[in-house]
Structure 1
Amino acid sequence: MSGEIIVIAEKPELARAIAEGLGGGARQDGFIDCGRHYVTWAIGHMLELVDPQDPWNMAALPISFIPWEKRPVAKTSAQLRTIGKLLKSARSVIHAGDPDDEGQLIVDEILQWAGSRLPVQRLLINDNNLKVVQRALASMRDNREFAGLSASAEARSVGDLLYGVNMTRAYTLAAQARGFQGVLSVGRVQTPILGLVVRRDRDFEAHTKSYYYTVSGQFSFAGLTFPARYQIGEGDPVDEQRRLIDRNFATAVAGAVQGQPARIASAKTTAKEAAPPLPYNLLKLQTDAARKFGYKPNQVKDITQALREKHRLITYNRSDSEYLSDEQHADAPGVLAAVAATVPMLAAIAQRADPAIKSRAFNSQKVSAHHAIIPTEATADFAALTEPEQRTYMLIARAYVAQFWPANQYDQTEIEIEVAGHAFAARGKVVTKPGWTVLYKNDVGNEDIAEDEDTLAADLRSIASGMAGQCLSASADQQETKPKPLYTMATLLTDLTRVAKYVRDERLRKLLIEKDKGKAGEHGGIGTPATRDSIIATLFDRGFLIEKGKNIISSPQARGFYDALPDQAKFPDMTAIWHEQQRAIAEGKSDAMTFVRGLADYVGREVARVKEQGLAIAIDAPPCPSCSKPLRRIKGSKGYFWSCTGYADGCKFTANDKAGKPELVKAPAPVPSQQHKCQACGAGLVRRPSAKKKGAFWWSCSAYPGCKQTYFDNKGQPDFSKGERA
């Protein structure tokens, strides 16, 4: 291997794009030979932090991760070795990780693992389009400029492990001391997500009905009849949401305007247009797939992984971006043709699309490390895809095709009415050109195209200011306040992009929002599109979250755990605090070691608190018959059994496990047979049921363990002719 310059891309598809940008090359084992350049690739993080191997013991906590160690990820170790070999004979390196902190760390840690001291240039690419790649190759920078980004990602990675391992073990062991079964999994992102669900459930259950009132009138102007709603006036009795709360006042308004002459105080019609929904990022795709098909987030990630890697039908599937680069607009004819060829049901709309239309989605300035998830120019036999693959591809393809349909155009009329000294208002909408909405006409519940409930599907364009008319009728209607609905998978995923609104500290709230500055679809979120699904799956696996119909609710165990946690663990504040500290690292004002030491101090104090105070968690565990302390179910070498949590204090009580419960009442000892005697020692035999075969029996000596003789059973009699039972 003798490549002079080694290019390390974050992913194989990026490596192929770079090789093309360098003029093409020959594919080798683990790299592409482009002459002077050898282009190789990582496969995500190829090194992982070493987990502690210490036994779960409270005395061993807190576990220190200073210094932290990394080891090769087993499944990608062969490719890592290939990169190491390439580096040994190189003269320089081009770092082609994604242009974000994780992408910076992925390649930097490979270079550190390999012990490379070669000069490194940084190649920044967020679009695999040939022209973009060539332009990036012509404008590389010194990799040392980005050392802070790599250190920031490293700090976050070590911090998550340090926090998660110590807190999970401390809380779990403290709970197990009270008889808890299982693991109380704790994480910087995971636990605040659980907190969102617990608080929503409790708010829903604690909601007390109250009432407010709306006043509506039916009006007639120039032969046109339409409804309008009362507008709140100065001094009206309203709640904090400016809703009428006095029934008598609402009834009086309705009575005052009914049958009275009315006048149009103002009328204005404006021609408007609406752009199509942006193409999908992973979160929006997971949300829509949950809403439409009931798919869980991790299912969607697996489906899209197959669509990308197995079928090559879509671009990178873990993207957090909803935008495309300006250069990708030139690919439209090829992509639209591929959609039409792959999905017969979309062929007509793809063929009617106009590739010359350039929607708001094409904006290089808004593309982050990745661009939106869109179809590729590859085709496939649609019938060969699974149903989930078909459905998901159609969502992605439709969103892309919509970018090349005309805008939805409509006239919106705003009307204000004066009647008996009161003001009413109405809004009407008339679609003049449906445009892209034709593609979504059956898509119920899509928030991107949801109509305003106060907008009438009525043509009010003929109404003009100064017109005289009449209020034909009016009514005051009682409305019932409703709590925020329980979470569904779709609404939980959406809320994870805007958890800043639940942060109580104003400064931290602003920090969280600032963290997502420039990220479309993220407004102070927690977690990433690539990790949220696995975190939610963990909460289900641990029994913290439960599906109830389409809703996601917290389990009783989750609520007990939530109540036992400190606020810093169950609110998203920690992510905001970490962001502030990691920003200082990225800017060179701090370093990863300082961050990890500070976190270790906090974790140490929390572990000490748990050791001293225990965990005040409600546990439904049976008491020990000997000392009344809770029993705990333990998995031993021969299966589960129950042991007293007071073992360290001297109580040695144990019990067998029966269907997950302790067998506290022992079965009466079997009575030895007086008729059938052991041929080895003469003691009476005992007939026992077989544990392996229902309805079968065998015989053992009652002198066990002194005598271990056994016999087969033959119609209720010991079979002495066959000798000892195997």
Structure 2
Amino acid sequence: MQLFIAEKPDLAKAIVDGLGGGSRKEGYYDCGDSYVTWCYGHMLQLLDPEDYDPRFAKWNLDDLPISHIPWKKKPSNDKKDQLKIITNLLKQAKSVVHAGDPDDEGQLLVDEVLEYAACSLPVKRLLINDNNISVVKRSLASMRDNREFAGLSAAAEARSVGDQLYGYNMSRAYTLAANKAGFQGVLSVGRVQTPILGLVVRRDREFEAHIKSYYYNVTGQFNFGGLSFPARYQIVDGDPVDEKGRLSNQDHAQGIADAANGAQANLISATTKKKNQHPPLPYNLLKLQTDASRKFGFRPDRTKDITQSLREKHKLITYNRSDCEYLSEDQHGDASNVLAAIAKTAPTLTIVAQKADPAIKSRAFNSSKVSAHHGIIPTEATADFSNLTDGEQKIYMLIARAYVAQFWPKHQYDQTDILVEAAAHRFAVRSNVTTLAGWKSLYKNDVGNEDLEGDENDIALDLRVLKAGQGGDCTDAVASQMETKPRPLYTMATLLTDLTRVAQYVRDDRLRKLLVEKDKGKEGEHGGIGTPSTRDTIIATLFDRGYLAEKGNNIISTPTGREFYDTLPDQAKYPDMTALWHEQQKSIQSGDINAITFVTELMEYIGTEVANVKQNGIGIKVVFIPCPDCGKPLRRIKKKAKNKFFWGCTGFADGCKYACDDKAGKPVPKPSAQVSEIHKCTACGKGLSRRPGRKKGTFWWGCSGFPTCKQTYPDIKGKPDFNNSKQGGRDE
């Protein structure tokens, strides 16, 4: 028996179909001479420090650095049953086919199961990035020896172990040092997490430090044969300009405007070219998260959860964690069925899906650009749209619209470039006139969509009738003073986009090139950190830890996030480490070094950083927010609901029950209770305060001398009931 081990159940089903079918059993398919089983992502996880030694369950600076070489793994709790099925099938098999995704994580995912099962059977490698049956059959006919891919698996394992050891040691070291200084909470450090915090902190500070200055635009209003249009002055050598090539001298700009105003004008050149614009590519996860944030205000983790539901519960979309925007050429044959499914599922898209032409083959259908997965598109499954949640409806509509657009004509327009001269000064303008709306008809009023935006200086006037050599006039010219602006604060959409191109912020040229090289061949990634399936979780962690907060539509760093950032070494808060690891992982893939060497060298670096923290501590400033009731520090506490917090008194165990709401990482004080001049405490003589009870509409009276005096009284018609006082009965 030959055993196929697929990365996911839907891939297993595609393999079964490619083999000619089979019968479903408990955790596998029986295809006669072959069995096909599946994983649910990573079936194993690295042991935690306390699994090696129970004393590591308690954080202690003296125990650091923690290192376990060689490392060990254990079955994930929620996957033990399926793992047992796989290992039992391996005992019956004569050979194995590794059918993990065709990337390093996919390679590791099945390899580690084979290692865990101590499998010594011959193993072939099946590479499938598209579940289309014709692609699967071709892949089945061209399997390779799994040993060819050992380097990929080793590199992924080294990265996983490195991330765990780096995160555990650095987080514990910084947290414990901060706790010594009086800080409450956890300072979480990660190879990807901390550079993301760094991006936001540096952007915030750049924004705040911006000193405005001015530059000048000169715009002329021209008239040629009764056709009036504006045009922008073109900079020439000798003009005083700023670092961005804009006019920087007001008198010079005004002089140009004065000279051109009222002068005769000559049309130097007028060229019109027919242009067409392709529709936006289908979504990958990051682009989907970006658009969902821009349009609906969804956080990236919410978008990923919605796509998971659309895929697993409703079967309406393909694999949802893809980093690719392209489709295989074989998928073009499914167009009619997918379009019909969209028309039936989403009433708003019914007409446009029916008008789509399945014969059109957009640039999205390019097998050479499909990575481990293809773009996220609708499946041939249908559903009652009213049974989907509001979020599911919105995300499905985005995915479906992008797919439908592939089968509408290209957007066609005439682009006219005009160059005019007045008083020896030249002015230019470009106009775009739509000749066929095409796919853009589906994206009406989609404000902020970068796929639709042109140059801000383009105009919509039809200038195609103008000809070179025509004479005219400059009827007006104005020199406008413009204020320089800093780069805007991050929004969730712009932060997600920047994570795909953080190489631009790396100061070292060599490391920058390494980061860009890491993403060579990946569409939409240009030297990024993190992966589409992990970035949202990492960002959520930064919010949970109180390092980031939302301010309107912007993402900003909190005082805690900034203080933490300032304590970290540069290698931790810039994306440099990812670049360095990429270089070493290439050496692991090629066999020049092994994973143990990589981890050993990493532990030397971690050991140095931990020793520095032990010796010098960290320079974090601890700002206490005192409890208004008892004076002890308040603590920010996470609620059970996602990304919700409140503030509570650290004197809770001593009897102080003060709590208040959180806003942008700061406590929102409760209105202070007024101390009565009439009603006095019978125990100490201080004034009493009337406070709301736990049940709506109820009240109680407490001594203003709390916590020294803990006397309380029930409320009767707005007055304390002195006949039923209690000692220590606050917050009744």
TM-score, normalised by the number of residues in structure 1: 0.87
Structure 2 equivalent of residue 33 of structure 1: 30
Change (3 A) 1:631 1:488: closer
Return 457-466 or 365-374, whichever deviates more.
457-466
Structure 2 equivalent of residue 369 of structure 1: 372
1:470-619 alignment, distance < 5 Å: 470-619=473-622
How many Å separate the matches in 1 of 2:470 and 2:432?
A: 20
Structure 1 equivalent of residue 3 of structure 2: 6
Tell me the alpha carbon deviations over residues 474-498 of structure 1, each in whole angstroms, 9 at most, x when there is no partner: 0000000111111111111011011
Cα offset, 1:659, TM superposition:
3.1
Cα offset, 1:452, TM superposition:
1.5
Tell me the alpha carbon deviations over residues 643-676 of structure 1, each in whole angstroms, 9 at most, x when there is no partner: 9xxxxxxxxxx97755379xxxxxxxx9999xxx
How many Å separate the matches in 1 of 2:535 and 2:277?
A: 31
Change (3 A) 1:80 1:471: same
1:273-292 alignment, distance < 5 Å: 273-292=276-295
Secondary structure of 2:49's partner?
Answer: coil
1:60-209 alignment, distance < 5 Å: 60-209=63-212
Pick aligned residue for 1:23 from 17, 20, 32: 20
Q: Is 1:418 equivalent to 2:421 in the alignment?
A: yes
Secondary structure of 2:113's partner?
Answer: helix
Structure 2 equivalent of residue 258 of structure 1: 261
How many Å separate the matches in 1 of 2:654 and 2:572?
A: 36
Secondary structure of 2:191's partner?
Answer: coil
Is this contact kept in 2: 1:314–1:375, CA < 8 A?
yes
Cα offset, 1:718, TM superposition:
11
Structure 1 equivalent of residue 706 of structure 2: none
Cα offset, 1:631, TM superposition:
8.3
Secondary structure of 1:518's partner?
Answer: coil
Change (3 A) 1:30 1:238: same
Is this contact kept in 1: 2:4–2:97, CA < 8 A?
yes
Is this contact kept in 2: 1:640–1:657, CA < 8 A?
yes
Change (3 A) 1:465 1:316: same
Is this contact kept in 1: 2:633–2:649, CA < 8 A?
no
Q: Is 1:456 equivalent to 2:459 in the alignment?
A: yes
* Number of positions where the alignment pairs a residue of Structure 1 with one of Structure 2: 657
How many Å separate the matches in 2 of 1:332 and 1:468?
A: 53
How many Å separate the matches in 2 of 1:180 and 1:37?
A: 59
RMSD over equivalenced CA pairs, Å: 2.4
Cα offset, 1:642, TM superposition:
6.5
Pick aligned residue for 1:322 from 322, 325, 333: 325
Cα offset, 1:451, TM superposition:
2.3
Structure 2 equivalent of residue 700 of structure 1: none
How many Å separate the matches in 2 of 1:252 and 1:327?
A: 62
Secondary structure of 1:423's partner?
Answer: strand
Is this contact kept in 2: 1:179–1:631, CA < 8 A?
no
How many Å separate the matches in 2 of 1:364 and 1:313?
A: 23
Q: Is 1:49 equivalent to 2:60 in the alignment?
A: no
Structure 1 equivalent of residue 222 of structure 2: 219
How many Å separate the matches in 1 of 2:597 and 2:344?
A: 56
Q: Is 1:354 equivalent to 2:357 in the alignment?
A: yes
Cα offset, 1:716, TM superposition:
4.2
Cα offset, 1:267, TM superposition:
1.2
Tell me the alpha carbon deviations over residues 285-338 of structure 1, each in whole angstroms, 9 at most, x when there is no partner: 000000000000000011000100000000000000000000000000000000
Tell me the alpha carbon deviations over residues 250-288 of structure 1, each in whole angstroms, 9 at most, x when there is no partner: 000000111111111111100000000000000000000
Is this contact kept in 1: 2:6–2:99, CA < 8 A?
yes
How many Å separate the matches in 1 of 2:411 and 2:378?
A: 23
TM-score, normalised by the number of residues in structure 2: 0.87
How many Å separate the matches in 2 of 1:528 and 1:407?
A: 31
How many Å separate the matches in 2 of 1:86 and 1:244?
A: 74
Q: Is 1:296 equivalent to 2:299 in the alignment?
A: yes
The one-letter amino acid of 2:145's match is D
Tell me the alpha carbon deviations over residues 223-271 of structure 1, each in whole angstroms, 9 at most, x when there is no partner: 2111100000101000110000100000000001111111111111000
Is this contact kept in 1: 2:280–2:451, CA < 8 A?
yes
How many Å separate the matches in 1 of 2:323 and 2:592?
A: 28
Cα offset, 1:715, TM superposition:
8.8
The one-letter amino acid of 1:253's match is I
Secondary structure of 1:183's partner?
Answer: coil
The one-letter amino acid of 2:20's match is G
Return 278-287 or 412-421, whichever deviates more.
412-421
How many Å separate the matches in 1 of 2:449 and 2:177?
A: 45
How many Å separate the matches in 1 of 2:493 and 2:191?
A: 22
Is this contact kept in 2: 1:641–1:656, CA < 8 A?
no
How many Å separate the matches in 2 of 1:428 and 1:717?
A: 83
Change (3 A) 1:218 1:121: same
How many Å separate the matches in 2 of 1:715 and 1:265?
A: 96
The one-letter amino acid of 1:232's match is I
Tell me the alpha carbon deviations over residues 485-536 of structure 1, each in whole angstroms, 9 at most, x when there is no partner: 1111111101101100000001101111111111111111110000000000
Tell me the alpha carbon deviations over residues 108-134 of structure 1, each in whole angstroms, 9 at most, x when there is no partner: 000000010000000000000000000
Is this contact kept in 1: 2:634–2:649, CA < 8 A?
no
How many Å separate the matches in 1 of 2:482 and 2:573?
A: 35
Change (3 A) 1:446 1:633: closer
Tell me the alpha carbon deviations over residues 550-572 of structure 1, each in whole angstroms, 9 at most, x when there is no partner: 11111000010011111111011
Change (3 A) 1:528 1:614: same
Cα offset, 1:65, TM superposition:
2.4
The one-letter amino acid of 1:142's match is D
Is this contact kept in 2: 1:97–1:107, CA < 8 A?
yes
Structure 2 equivalent of residue 433 of structure 1: 436
Is this contact kept in 2: 1:323–1:367, CA < 8 A?
yes
Q: What fraction of aligned residue pairs are identical, expressed as a percent?
A: 65
The one-letter amino acid of 2:435's match is T
Change (3 A) 1:367 1:207: same
Is this contact kept in 2: 1:179–1:632, CA < 8 A?
no
How many Å separate the matches in 2 of 1:17 and 1:335?
A: 17
Q: Is 1:659 equivalent to 2:664 in the alignment?
A: no
Is this contact kept in 1: 2:431–2:459, CA < 8 A?
yes
Structure 2 equivalent of residue 677 of structure 1: none
Is this contact kept in 1: 2:633–2:650, CA < 8 A?
no
Is this contact kept in 2: 1:204–1:486, CA < 8 A?
yes
Tell me the alpha carbon deviations over residues 388-447 of structure 1, each in whole angstroms, 9 at most, x when there is no partner: 000100000000000000000000011111211111101111110010000001211100
Secondary structure of 1:456's partner?
Answer: coil
The one-letter amino acid of 2:608's match is R
Cα offset, 1:199, TM superposition:
0.7
Cα offset, 1:349, TM superposition:
0.2
Change (3 A) 1:604 1:660: farther
Is this contact kept in 2: 1:633–1:642, CA < 8 A?
no
Return 140-149 or 58-67, whichever deviates more.
58-67
Is this contact kept in 1: 2:272–2:414, CA < 8 A?
yes
Is this contact kept in 2: 1:264–1:466, CA < 8 A?
yes
Cα offset, 1:12, TM superposition:
0.2
How many Å separate the matches in 1 of 2:516 and 2:610?
A: 31
Is this contact kept in 2: 1:634–1:642, CA < 8 A?
no
Unaligned runs of 5+ in 2: 51-55, 627-631, 638-647, 661-680, 685-690, 702-720, 727-732
Structure 2 equivalent of residue 706 of structure 1: none
Pick aligned residue for 1:233 from 229, 233, 236: 236
